[in-house]
Amino acid sequence: MKKIITRFAPSPTGYIHIGNVRSAIYPYLVAKQANGTFILRIEDTDQARYVDGATTLIEDTLTWLGLDWDEGADKGGSDGPYYQTERKAIYLEWAKKLMAIGRAYADPTDSETIEKYRNEDNLKKVPYLYRNHRPVTTTEWQPGIPIRFKSDPKPRDWHDEVMGDLHAGPEVQDDIILIKKDGLPTYNFAHIIDDYLMKCTYIMRGVEYLPSTPNYLAIYEALGIEMPKIVSLPHILRPDGRKKLGKRDGAKSVTEYREDGILPEAMLNYLACLGWNDGTEQEIYTMAELIEKFDISKIQTSGARYDETKLLWMNGQWIRKIFAEQGIDELYSRTKNFWPESAANYPIEYRKQVLSIIYDRLKVLSDLKSMTDYFFVDPKINLDLIINNKFLKNFSESELASLLSTSIQALSSIESSDWDANHLQETLNQLLADTDKKPAELFSLIRLALSFAPFSPALNLTLNVLGRDTSLSRLNALRAAILNDGE
RNA sequence: GGUCUCUUAGUAUAACGGUUAGUACAACGGGUUUUCAUCCCGUCAACGCGGGUUCGACUCCCGCAGAGAUCACCA
């Protein structure tokens, strides 16, 4: 049984956006479920598009998602180096092999001439194929001259693990560039050599490579090496259309979602299940479950529209799942950078209490900023919120003030030591009975006095976390403001 | 334009010849002592079109239409 080896081979031209993370996730899952090796190879042969720091960005993203690579990049491994620029000599050697057997040639033709050929063909309305313009005289290769593959056009059939049996005619096979003028290989050539030397058993990449596969087939054949299994991944589509999602469409980087407070588990879960499912009705998957259940043959053949709403829903599910299964400490550890500034002055234990009563309202962790400020600073009194409240607008100011007085009296009768959620609920229930008010009326008033927020957790819990002193002082403050306003 | 790929509700998907076409998100309505959310219940909503094959087709075949990808010394 051959060891399963997969790879993620990004080009360091910027961040990893959500449109292409799946080509990292799936190979990782395939490798892990077979106890195989997952390689990170950096395809940095395009000097013009190279972006400084992109490799680090890519590594950070993978690490954040939990996609640890076994070999590659700076980590090393037995088949390195894993930066293509460092493998320059290897590609040249293989290109020379092809030249030696007459399957590649040095081509000094300049780009203007090539452009001319193309234009002529376009004008004649015949398909442009460079092999029809192949130089008749041979040139000896020397540095600075590109090397082209000498194609052998014929019908080709192959199998794609997702798309099934595919076929292409000779009309799409051409003399593609193997080694560029700058001495570096093209993707078309480099990935074939690398996958072979790194013993990759699967090539998982976007469907955009489908049309050039016949050319790759020809190179494999000429080289006499076996092609790994091909897994073409359908595109992730823009939310508003059918086009593939790309950076130009404002595709967010994975790290942007991290900054918004999306959990890596949710991101991974959502992306893995976009265009794949195991045939059951399961929606929430842990990494371990994905590794266990992932199945290439169940990858969808059509593109899938990216739907942020569902990602948000899934993030909420994960927030609750982590709280339920791993507890408040674990959930709290994920919230480090998401608290309002004012929270800094409060002890960790207090913040954990706040989190434990607010967490099921969070869609993203950054919601903490706007949802919890009244736990850390006294809210600004806004009488309009009281006057316009649909349950309170029929009360006169004196009625509101006396309702607050009664509430303050009842709540202050609770000793500090008894200020817990149960006692508070009992007191609130009693207060309801004594005042003969509806919950909507009494509770709205107290809730607003405490938070002046559009929403907040259950009243007894809010009172409990806020504490006796703060709660009473806020109620008093509102009462004073109402009386003051009435004069 | 050539070549290739794709096509189940608004979105993501299930079904692998026989089901009232299932599930989730979204939307809408309702319930859980206020709000927002969670949770629970319910409603709406789909097999692109046309031919075959078959007793029977979302499922198999052929056309068509629509959508997408690709035609670089980018990957």
Assess whether pLDDT exceeds 80 at residue A485. Answer: no
Q: Which CATH class is domain A383-486?
A: mainly alpha
Can you give the pLDDT at residue A486?
Answer: 66
| Distance measured from the CA of protein residue A305 to the C1' of nucleotide B45, in angstroms | 18
Q: Percentage of chain A with pLDDT > 90?
A: 92
* Contact positions of strand B to protein Cβ (< 7 A): 1-8, 10-15, 22-26, 33-39, 67-75
Q: Which of the nucleotides lies closest to A209 (Cα–C1')?
A: B70
Q: Which of the nucleotides lies closest to A313 (Cα–C1')?
A: B25
> What average pLDDT does chain A have?
95
Architecture of the A5-82+237-305 domain: 3-Layer(aba) Sandwich (3.40)
pTM score of the predicted model: 0.94
Assess whether pLDDT exceeds 80 at residue A487. Answer: no
| Distance measured from the CA of protein residue A359 to the C1' of nucleotide B9, in angstroms | 33
Give pLDDT tens digits for A222-257. 999 999 999 999 999 999 878 999 888 878 899 999
Q: Where are the domains of chain A?
A: 5-82+237-305, 84-234, 308-375, 383-486
| Distance measured from the CA of protein residue A237 to the C1' of nucleotide B6, in angstroms | 13
Give pLDDT tens digits for A418-456. 999 999 999 999 999 999 999 999 999 999 999 999 999
Structural tokens at position A213: 């596969």
In this complex, the residue with its CA at the shortest distance from the C1' of nucleotide B1 is: A125
Ranking A14-28, A234-248, A313-327 by mean pLDDT, the lowest is A234-248
Q: Which CATH class is domain A84-234?
A: alpha beta
| Distance measured from the CA of protein residue A302 to the C1' of nucleotide B49, in angstroms | 19
Can you give the pLDDT at residue A80?
Answer: 85
Q: Which of the nucleotides lies closest to A305 (Cα–C1')?
A: B11
**A84-234: same fold as A5-82+237-305?**
yes
